[in-house]
Homo-oligomer: A and B are copies of this chain.
């Protein structure tokens, strides 16, 4: 298996709300919701999705949790919760604090203030409106990144 990831799809409860958070709140570029011509039903997932082109060809995708469950043929409860985090590395402590503040204003929850870790980073988390965790990370000088 190639060591390569192309898409990260976040299961969301409200596609409009999630799009607004990432596009209008965080300023990530998106064409908005596409794929609405693919109507789902009880068995088949609908196709409506919002996508964001990130650097290096990576795509962040927002997809309703029930459709993700149907598409993967797993029980709806499988796509509840959020046992992962997405990390973004920035250039300064100020950038960490600024982005957490931006996210809070956009509707995110910031569970605690950013702080240093013994493994050589200053970082803080926000949880998007669906609870998905983002860690904003600054690698301290003279320390290896975590």
Contact = CB atoms under 8 A, between A and B. Distances in A.
Interface of A: 1-11, 26-29, 35, 38, 47, 49, 52-61, 65, 68, 71-74, 77-90, 99, 102-103, 111-112, 117-119, 125, 127, 130-133, 135, 137, 146
B47 A68 contact: no
A26 B1 contact: yes
Given A72-B125, A74-B111, A125-B73, A6 B79 contact: no
Given A83-B65, A85-B68, A146 B4 contact: no
Contact of A72 (B52, B85, B89): B85
Contacts of A84: 8-11, 68, 79, 82, 84, 132
